[in-house]
């Protein structure tokens, strides 16, 4: 039983730890960084001036119900990716049915505003429809996979900049020699499901850039290092067997208070991927601000520094051709659900605030685009 004395010391330790953490976080903040930007142009233009595509993930329901948000997308984005609408759980209401209504609305919106359109994602173990587990099995999995990829890819053939063909298929903690995640697709079809997915997509839309997409590749820690190694090995295997893969998507869900960021190691990884002849896309960029101070001035400055420091490194690699944020405005971000703050304050991970005004993160991205080598 802890005595009062020890209880108070536990309290002291906890306070000291919190204070240490907040001191550490304050060290992340540099009030001298003003993130000055010139030109008064949009992110789309800052990026395209360097031959880079900038865009964001969007949701049909949100653009329909927020016309002013739709206007911000039309102004800021040169490429659009559906956040939900091209996933199995939306596209596949039943085993024998496809519903493209919502995705088609976003494709039309992109076309209307002169944006490119990218697809996310043909093969994933999440966002599966309720009927999936009770219907798909070892015997019919290949039929379902080939039919899904063929039907969906053909539906947009010729109009799709790129597809995330396979999403999040690597998990070193699943202890497989090949580093693959033990997903239903792997269980039903074996490791070659990845090669199969790319070949079927390439047959259905020979014009689209076919991408493998994953997360947890960004930081200097043992987990990310192991994942970078496993992803690189997967890409090398696929290229050596002639799989029609053209790019790596790095999701880039960053953390504002992460101090283990090693530009040299990240640059080396990007160069190794590029040396395989692959393009690189930053596909789901945002910055978690959970443990950052509540004050907008400090929080926004640290988030902006995270954006600028990361993009300055990745954009130095000429194979990086596109940057998409996972949303555009703090008004709607998946982090409200997936990485909420303990103080219940609204999270601020994206370039525009909830009133659609550019934040320092917007400036940071513009500055990183301006400094990037021209493609």
Tell me which residues are annotated as active site.
Answer: 168, 284
Residue 88 found at the interface with ligand XIL (CB under 6 A): no
Q: Which of residues 262-321 bind ligand XIL (CB under 6 A)?
A: 284
Residue 85 found at the interface with ligand XIL (CB under 6 A): no
Contact present, 267 and 316 (Cβ < 8 Å): yes
Q: Which of 334, 351, 360, 361 binds ligand XIL (CB under 6 A)?
A: 334
Residues that bind ligand XIL (rule: CB under 6 A) add up to a total of 7
Contact present, 137 and 188 (Cβ < 8 Å): yes
**Minimum separation from the CB atom of position 285 to ligand XIL (A):** 12
88 closest CA partner among 63, 125, 43: 125
Residue 212 found at the interface with ligand XIL (CB under 6 A): no
With respect to ligand XIL, which residue has the nearer C-beta, 193 or 332?
332
**Minimum separation from the CB atom of position 182 to ligand XIL (A):** 18
Q: Which residues contact 23 (CB under 8 A, 6 or more apart)?
A: none
Inter-axis angle of helices 296-314 and 263-274, nearest 10: 40
3-state secondary structure 208-251: CEEEEEECCCCCCCHHHHHHHHHHHHHHHHHHHCCCCCCEEEEC
Tokens matching residue 239: 């290229």
With respect to ligand XIL, which residue has the nearer C-beta, 35 or 334?
334
Q: Which residues pair with 253 in a beta bridge?
A: 286
Q: Which of residues 110-169 bind ligand XIL (CB under 6 A)?
A: 127, 167
| Contacts within 8 Å (CB) and 24+ apart, 262-269 | 262/219, 262/220, 263/309, 263/313, 265/220, 265/225, 266/218, 266/220, 266/313, 266/314, 267/313, 267/316, 267/317, 269/217, 269/228, 269/232
Residue 363 found at the interface with ligand XIL (CB under 6 A): no
**Minimum separation from the CB atom of position 251 to ligand XIL (A):** 6
Q: Which residues contact 317 (CB under 8 A, 6 or more apart)?
A: 267, 270, 271, 274, 280
**Minimum separation from the CB atom of position 157 to ligand XIL (A):** 22
The DSSP 8-state label assigned to residue 278 in this structure reads -
Q: Which of 29, 83, 289, 353 binds ligand XIL (CB under 6 A)?
A: 83
With respect to ligand XIL, which residue has the nearer C-beta, 56 or 186?
56
Q: Which of 42, 183, 243, 251 binds ligand XIL (CB under 6 A)?
A: 251
With respect to ligand XIL, which residue has the nearer C-beta, 29 or 286?
286
**Minimum separation from the CB atom of position 45 to ligand XIL (A):** 26
With respect to ligand XIL, which residue has the nearer C-beta, 126 or 294?
126
With respect to ligand XIL, which residue has the nearer C-beta, 81 or 230?
81
Helix (H), strand (E) at residue 296: helix 296-314
Residues in contact with ligand XIL by CB under 6 A are 83, 127, 167, 215, 251, 284, 334
């Amino acid at each position: 039983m802890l005595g009062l004395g020890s209880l108070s010391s536990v309290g002291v330790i906890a306070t000291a730890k919190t204070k240490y953490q907040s001191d550490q976080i304050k060290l992340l903040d540099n009030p001298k960084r003003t993130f000055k930007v010139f030109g008064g142009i949009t992110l789309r233009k800052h990026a395209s001036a360097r031959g880079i595509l900038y865009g964001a993930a969007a949701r049909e329901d949100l653009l329909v119900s927020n016309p002013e948000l739709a206007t911000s997308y039309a102004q800021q984005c040169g490429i659009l990716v559906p956040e939900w609408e091209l996933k199995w759980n939306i596209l596949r209401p039943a085993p024998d049915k496809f519903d493209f209504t919502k995705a088609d609305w976003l494709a039309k919106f992109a076309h209307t505003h002169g944006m490119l359109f990218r697809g996310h994602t043909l093969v994933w173990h999440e966002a599966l429809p309720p009927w999936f587990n009770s219907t798909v099995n070892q015997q019919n999995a290949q039929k379902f996979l080939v039919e899904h990829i063929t039907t969906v890819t053909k539906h947009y053939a010729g109009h799709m900049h790129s597809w995330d063909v396979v999403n999040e298929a690597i998990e070193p903690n699943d202890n497989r020699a090949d580093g693959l995640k033990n997903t239903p697709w792997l269980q039903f079809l074996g490791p070659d499901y990845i090669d199969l997915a790319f070949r079927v997509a390439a047959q259905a839309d020979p014009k689209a850039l076919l991408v493998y997409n994953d997360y947890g590749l960004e930081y200097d820690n043992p987990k990310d290092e192991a994942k970078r190694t496993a992803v690189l090995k997967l890409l090398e295997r696929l290229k050596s067997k002639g799989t029609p893969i053209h790019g790596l998507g790095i999701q880039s869900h960053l953390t504002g208070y992460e101090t283990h960021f090693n530009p040299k190691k990240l640059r080396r990884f990007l160069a190794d991927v590029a040396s395989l002849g692959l393009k690189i896309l930053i596909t789901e960029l945002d910055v978690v601000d959970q443990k950052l101070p509540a004050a907008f001035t400090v929080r926004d400055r640290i988030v902006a520094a995270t954006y600028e420091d990361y993009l300055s490194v990745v954009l130095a690699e000429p194979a990086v051709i596109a940057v998409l944020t996972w949303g555009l405005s703090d008004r709607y971000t998946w982090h409200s659900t997936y990485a909420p703050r303990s103080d219940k304050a609204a999270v601020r991970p994206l370039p525009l605030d909830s009133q659609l005004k550019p934040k320092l993160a917007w400036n940071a991205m513009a500055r990183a685009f301006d400094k990037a080598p021209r493609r």
